[in-house]
Structure 1
Amino acid sequence: MDLVDVPTFTQSPALPGAWYAGSCQPSISSSHIHRLVEHCVLSVFRISALALRSRDRAASVALARQTAMYLAHVAFGLSLTEVGRLFCRDRTTVAHGCMVIEGLRDDPEIDRALALMERAVAPPRTGSPMSNA
């Protein structure tokens, strides 16, 4: 997809946390958010989608899953309950994962990597150069 084909997203004033392409389009579906976040995390962590969706508790898989949940929560403003539904996890599991990732942000390299992933998946903010494309 070329940058020209990327839709412009703005936050809905009527539905906090909902993002719209244009002014009258339906919000981004949760399945779209899940696929977007999952694709980003899979390419960075180089694990399979099957591993990410599994109950595997191996450190590398758990970190990737926690990162995906964190990105969905932070980049899209989804509640912990909503993120839990997306990833078939309990909201307390999502909260724990977000705390783990937040704690890792003290490392400048990890913080930079997370910031880049957030930027890669998040809808452009209104008024940004991307929103005028």
Structure 2
Amino acid sequence: MLRFDPARADSRGWRLLELVATARHLRAQDLLGPDRGRAEVALARQLAMYLMHTHYCRIYSAVGRFFGRDRTTVSHACAVIEDLREEPAFDQLVGEIEERLSSEAALEREAAHVAA
């Protein structure tokens, strides 16, 4: 069980975490563990950090706070994922998650517009 951390009071961050964890067949809370964890957990965490930075335009330090990591760890994660995107299968996976995030954001905007 994770303790409440104000840095993690971010519904979009949690949704991103859920999408990445599901895509990688993991639990979301595994990605927030205090240690590196298994290689597949570390890679999923790096992917979530990358997407939070690139898709949500969050600065490294904000992403690091959410994950309980340093900004340099986020920078490293982004570099690792950029390199892995050279592999077509991995790039496709990342693209599918990005599409899902974009679709959900569009639905949120539409709902907000209708409510206004």
TM > 0.5 fold call: yes
Q: Which residue identity lines up with residue 38 of structure 1 in the other structure?
A: L
RMSD between aligned alpha carbons?
A: 2.2
Q: State the structure with more CA Rg.
A: 1
Number of residue equivalences: 101
Q: Normalized against structure 1, the TM-score is what?
A: 0.68
Larger helix proportion of the pair? 2
Q: Equivalents in 2 of 1:89, 1:39: separation in Å?
A: 18
State, as a whole percentage, how many aligned pairs show the same letter.
Answer: 36
User: Cα deviation per residue 1:64-118 (whole Å; 9 max; x = unaligned)?
Assistant: 0000101111111111111111111100000000100000010111111101111
Does residue 1:86 correspond to 2:66, yes or no? yes
Q: Equivalents in 1 of 2:78, 2:53: separation in Å?
A: 8
Name structure 1 gaps, 5 residues minimum: 1-28
- What residue is the counterpart of 1:53 in the other structure? 32
Q: Which residue identity lines up with residue 80 of structure 1 in the other structure?
A: Y
Does residue 1:43 correspond to 2:22, yes or no? yes
- What residue is the counterpart of 1:120 in the other structure? 100
Q: Normalized against structure 2, the TM-score is what?
A: 0.77
Name structure 2 gaps, 5 residues minimum: 1-7, 112-116
Closer, same or farther: CA 57–132 of 1 in aligned 2, 3 Å: closer
| Greater RCO, 1 or 2 (C-alpha within 8 Å, sep 6+) | 1
Q: Equivalents in 2 of 1:101, 1:32: separation in Å?
A: 23
Runs of 4+ that moved beyond 4 A: 129-133
